[in-house]
Structure formats: C-alpha cells, structure tokens
Amino acid sequence: MSLVLCCRDAMTRLTEGSEGALAGAEGATFALHLTICARCKAYRTQLETTVGVLRAMPREESETEDVEAILRLLGDTDAEPRG
C-alpha cells in the first residue's frame, strides 16, 4: 500500500468519508494527503462548507446524493465520475 494518496483517491475519500469515518492506515494516508496537498485541503474546506449549507436546509433527500450532485456541479477538479 502506498503512503501517498493521489488527489483523485483523496477526493473520492472526501465524498465518502467527510464525516471522519475513515479509520486505520487508510484514514492516516488520507489525513497525510490533506496535510501536504493544498489543493485537496481547499477542496475539503469547500466541501465542508457545502455540506454545512445543505444541512441548514430543510431537505428530505439523502445528504450523500446532494453532495455528489454538487461535486458534479463544481466540476473544477480532476475527480472522475464513479461507477
């Protein structure tokens, strides 16, 4: 396992693990990447802000779906669509 996460993997983990659900070595490499990569750090801040706004809104939809939709709208990263 590499100690260095690529930005694409980090961004995938951001969408999946923004709640701090990542644990163990995987979480550690993710945290390390955010420490050394200003771009992903800024992306996380943007994502957290977005999630905060979504939480403040009275919505029924799944939070995860909302976040993914907004990530697609942002479209300013090199993250590729999943699936």
Kindly list the residues in this chain that would bind Zn ion in the complex (CB under 5 A): 7, 10, 37, 40
Q: Nearer Cβ to Zn ion, position 6 or 69?
A: 6
Q: Nearer Cβ to Zn ion, position 4 or 53?
A: 4
Q: Nearer Cβ to Zn ion, position 10 or 67?
A: 10
Two structure tokens written together for 52 = 């905060």
Q: How far apart are CA 25 and CA 79, in angstroms?
A: 22
Cβ 20 to Zn ion, closest distance in Å?
Answer: 18
Contacts of 54 (CB under 8 A, 6+ apart): 63, 66, 67, 70
Cβ 7 to Zn ion, closest distance in Å?
Answer: 3
Cβ 31 to Zn ion, closest distance in Å?
Answer: 12
CA angle centred on 46, ends 52 and 59, rounded to 5°: 30
